[in-house]
Amino acid sequence: MRYSGGMGILRHIAVFGFSLALLAACSPEKGRESERDLPDDASRPNILLVVLDTVRADRLGAYGDARAQTPNLDAFAHAATLFENCMSSSCWTLPAHASLFTGMLPIAHQATQETLRLSDKFPTLAEIFAAHGYSVYGASANAVVSRTNGLDRGFPHFEELYRSEVENSHRLPGRHPHDVALEKWLSGREDDRPFFAFLNFIEAHTPYWPPEPFLSRALLPQWTLQQGRAASLQKTRDHYLLPEGLSDETIHIMSRLYDGEIAYLDWAFGKLAEMLEAHGFLDDTLIVVTSDHGEQFGEHDLVSHSFSLYEPLIDIPLMVRWPDGRNAGTRRADPVHLMDLFPSLLKVAGIRPAAAIHGVDIFTGPADGDRIRVAEYYYPRQMFSMLDPALVATNLNRLAPFMQRLRAFRQGSQKFIWSSDGRHELFELSNDPGESHSVFEGENGALWKFNERFAERFAEGADLTPVPPKGWAGGGFEENTDDLELLERLRALGYVD
Answer whether residue 136 is part of any domain: yes
Give the per-residue pLDDT at 380: 86
**Closest Cα partner for 182 from 223, 139, 220?**
139
Give the per-residue pLDDT at 474: 58
Q: Is the preceding omega at residue 156 within 30 degrees of 0, hence cis?
A: no
Answer whether residue 87 is part of any domain: yes
Answer whether residue 341 is part of any domain: yes
Give the per-residue pLDDT at 16: 24
**Domain count across the chain:** 1
3 state SS of 317: strand
End-to-end CA distance of the chain: 27
Give the per-residue pLDDT at 248: 95
Give the per-residue pLDDT at 41: 64
Q: Residue 428 — φ and ψ, nearest 5°?
A: -105, 100
Answer whether residue 383 is part of any domain: no
Give the per-residue pLDDT at 15: 28
Output the CA torsion 365→336→263→159 (10° steps). -90
Q: What is the DSSP letter of 477?
A: G
Q: List the beta bridge partners of residue 287.
A: 48, 321
- Residue partners of 24: CB distance under 8 A and separation at least 6: none
User: Which tens digits make up the pLDDT trace of 94-135?
Assistant: 999 999 999 999 999 999 988 889 999 999 999 999 999 999
Give the per-residue pLDDT at 191: 87
Give the per-residue pLDDT at 127: 97
Answer whether residue 14 is part of any domain: no
User: Which tens digits make up the pLDDT trace of 136-181?
Assistant: 999 999 989 999 899 999 999 999 999 989 999 999 999 999 999 9
Give the per-residue pLDDT at 11: 35
Answer whether residue 459 is part of any domain: no
Give the per-residue pLDDT at 480: 65
What burial letters (b/e) apply to 333-351, b meaning 16+ CB within 10 Å?
ebbbbbbbbbbbbbbbbeb
Residue 81 belongs to domain spanning: 41-370
Answer whether residue 245 is part of any domain: yes
Give the per-residue pLDDT at 125: 97
Q: How far apart are CA 335 and CA 411, in angstroms?
A: 8
CATH code, domain carrying 209: 3.40.720.10
- Extract the residue ranges of the chain whose pLDDT is less than 50: 1-37
**Whole-Å CA distances, 483 to 162, 173, 314, 486:** 13, 30, 31, 5
Give the per-residue pLDDT at 393: 78
DSSP 203-232: TTSSS--PPTTHHHHHS-TTS-HHHHHHHH
Sign of CA dihedral 274, 280, 281, 284: positive
Answer whether residue 474 is part of any domain: no
